[in-house]
């Protein structure tokens, strides 16, 4: 066995997955994340750091285009797993086992690399034989430069947080927050690339990149204005969410929200309450279990974006125990210790203070904590109460889902509020604002899969 073959097979045993989720595929995402955690596979923060792309659900047109562009940015060796249809744990396990085998297939990986090189040079190279969607992805190869442009731009805008986070020894991952945000936030450019000047090849512009517009900022100064989209393909990002931003310096001057939808109708987090409204018997204990898991999912996402990877992993481990393992013994006590540790983190709350509150500059918090910090505190409180109700066998007779009355689809209101919360925020903090809202796009009606001004 040659060195290249040995290295390929060694790397195949330790893949770095990037998970992309379509709206209405929350159950598949959770199953995939639980299996990835069981195997000890660390997730990638950007396409360039991945070798396994896991697509959960069936993306609609805009999200599908974004996935194609991201796929072209995943370096070799690489493989694709598409989880659709029947959300059974054994099918997820089988699909990931197949991914390991394909990553270790040296001949197929060489054919794929040759095909990509041929496409870049304008030749027709051999296709990767093991992927049934290869033709679709090869057609998108000409977007590869677009993805790289986005990553470079993101590194410039997100670098500012890293030095601050290194102060907190408990938050081992905090020092990487700014770096992660920069590398990640352009992963989904492809779904929107045809509408943004920064992605097209324009005659007369250096390197095909158009010059920035100019406009007055909030202080009356004339500065460059850059159009920077966030999403829809980012780690720890709501499924299908796209935020179109206009930047001056590193401050968001305008924001517009869109939804890159997915096929399906399931609302996983709201399911117990929807079933009760339809007249089916659901216990309060089952609803409490789903609500606690939903809040732990939101807490884990926020902590991951903040750079506290260890605490995010702990939140998700507790979530998976509630959803799939059904081992409740000791969970309330473990959660209580976890919640105390999160609440005692002065650095975390220093990062979050003033974020997500209209009219309040980041870093200037009123005496009563508000915005993202207050929502984190509320999520912890709600999780603790739900865990104490897991054994409640009385029938569920309300519609108060994890994000509010399920009939009102509260995430639609969250999306409408998001542009106002982001305007005036530094780009490095935008990910924290979004994670602090954590809208559930499964609640968004198809008619709303458009702009939210």
pLDDT in tens, 159-216: 334 434 444 444 444 443 333 333 333 333 333 334 433 333 334 454 444 555 666 6
Range in 44-58, 59-73, 116-130, 139-153 the model is least confident about: 139-153
Highest mean pLDDT among 178-192, 291-305, 410-424: 291-305
Average pLDDT in the 13-20 region? Answer: 91
User: Is the pLDDT reported for residue 84 higher than 70?
Assistant: yes
User: Is the pLDDT reported for residue 41 higher than 80?
Assistant: yes
> Does residue 360 or residue 257 have the better pLDDT?
257
Average pLDDT in the 341-356 region? Answer: 92
Q: Residue 216: its pLDDT value, please?
A: 61
Per-residue pLDDT tens digits for 382-412: 999 999 999 999 999 999 999 999 999 999 9
User: Is the pLDDT reported for residue 221 higher than 50?
Assistant: yes
- Per-residue confidence band for 72, with pLDDT thresholds at 50, 70 and 90: very high
Q: Residue 403: its pLDDT value, please?
A: 93
Q: What is the rounded average pLDDT for all residues in the chain?
A: 79
User: Is the pLDDT reported for residue 250 higher than 70?
Assistant: yes
> Does residue 3 or residue 99 have the better pLDDT?
99
Range in 221-230, 233-242, 422-431 the model is least confident about: 221-230
Percent of the chain exceeding pLDDT 90 equals 58
User: Is the pLDDT reported for residue 273 higher than 90?
Assistant: yes
Average pLDDT in the 234-252 region? Answer: 93
Q: Are strands 222-230 and 262-263 parallel, antiparallel or unpaired?
A: unpaired
> Does residue 152 or residue 351 have the better pLDDT?
351
Average pLDDT in the 16-39 region? Answer: 96
HEC letters along the chain: CCHHHHHHHHHHCCCCEEEEECCCCHHHHHHHHHHHHHHCCCCCCCHHHCCEEEEECEECHHHHHHHHHHHHHCCCCCEEEEECCCCCHHHHHHHHHHHHHHHCCHHHHHHHHHHHHHHHCCCCCCCCCCCCCHHHHHHCHHHHHHHHHHHHHHHHHHHHHHHHHCCCCCCCCHHHHHHHHHHHCCCCHHHHHHHCHHHCCCCCCHHHCCCCEEEECCCCCEEEEEEEEECCCCCCCCCCEEEEEEEECCEEEEEEEEECCEECCCCCCCHHHHHHHCCCCCEHHHHHHHHHHHHHHHHHHHHHHHCCHHHHHHHHHHHHHHHHHCCCCCHHHHHHHHHHHHHCCHHHHHHHCCCCCCCCCCCCCCCCCCHHHHHHHHHHHHHHHHHCCCCCCCECCCCEECCEEHHHCHHHHHHHHHHHHHCCCEHHHHHHHHHHHCCCHHHCCHHHCCCEC
Average pLDDT in the 55-76 region? Answer: 94
Highest mean pLDDT among 123-132, 168-177, 421-430: 421-430
Per-residue pLDDT tens digits for 349-369: 899 988 887 644 444 334 334
């Amino acid at each position: 066995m040659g060195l290249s073959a040995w290295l390929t097979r060694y790397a195949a045993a330790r893949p770095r997955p990037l998970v992309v989720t379509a709206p209405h595929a929350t159950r598949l995402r959770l199953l995939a994340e639980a299996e990835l955690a069981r195997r000890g596979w660390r997730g990638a923060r950007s396409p360039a750091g991945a070798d396994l792309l896991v697509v959960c659900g069936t993306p609609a047109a805009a999200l599908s285009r974004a996935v194609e562009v991201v796929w072209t940015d995943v370096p070799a060796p690489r493989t694709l797993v598409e989880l659709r249809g029947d959300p059974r744990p054994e099918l997820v396990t089988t699909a990931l086992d197949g991914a390991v085998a394909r990553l270790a297939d040296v001949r197929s990986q060489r054919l794929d690399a040759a095909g990509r090189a041929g496409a870049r040079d304008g030749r027709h190279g051999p296709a990767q034989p093991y992927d049934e969607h290869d033709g679709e992805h090869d057609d998108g190869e000409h977007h590869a430069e677009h993805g790289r442009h986005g990553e470079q731009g993101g590194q410039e805008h997100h670098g500012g947080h890293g030095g601050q986070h290194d102060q907190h020894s408990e938050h081992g991952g905090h020092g990487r927050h700014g770096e992660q945000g920069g590398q990640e936030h352009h992963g989904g450019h492809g779904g929107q690339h045809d509408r943004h000047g920064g992605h097209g090849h324009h005659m007369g512009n250096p390197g095909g990149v158009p010059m920035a517009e100019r406009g007055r900022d909030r202080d009356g100064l004339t500065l460059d204005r850059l159009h920077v989209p966030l999403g829809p393909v980012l780690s720890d990002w709501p499924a299908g969410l796209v935020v179109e931003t206009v930047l001056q310096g590193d401050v968001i001057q305008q924001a517009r929200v869109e939804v890159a939808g997915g096929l399906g109708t399931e609302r996983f987090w709201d399911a117990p309450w929807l079933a009760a409204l339809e007249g089916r018997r659901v216990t309060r204990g089952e609803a409490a279990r789903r609500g606690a898991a939903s809040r732990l999912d939101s807490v884990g996402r926020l902590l991951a974006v903040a750079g506290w990877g260890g605490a995010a992993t702990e939140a998700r481990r507790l979530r998976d125990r509630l959803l799939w393992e059904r081992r409740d013994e000791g969970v309330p006590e473990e959660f209580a210790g976890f919640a105390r540790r999160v609440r005692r983190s002065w650095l975390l709350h220093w990062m979050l203070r003033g974020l997500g509150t209209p009219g309040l500059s980041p870093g200037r918090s009123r005496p009563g904590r508000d915005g993202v910090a207050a929502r984190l505190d509320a999520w912890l409180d709600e999780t603790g109460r739900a865990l104490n109700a897991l054994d409640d066998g009385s029938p569920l007779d309300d519609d108060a889902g994890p994000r509010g009355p399920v009939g009102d689809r509260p995430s639609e209101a969250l999306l409408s509020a998001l542009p106002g919360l982001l305007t005036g925020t530094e780009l490095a903090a935008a990910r924290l604002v979004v994670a602090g809202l954590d809208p559930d796009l499964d609640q968004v009606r198809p008619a709303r899969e458009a702009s939210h001004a």
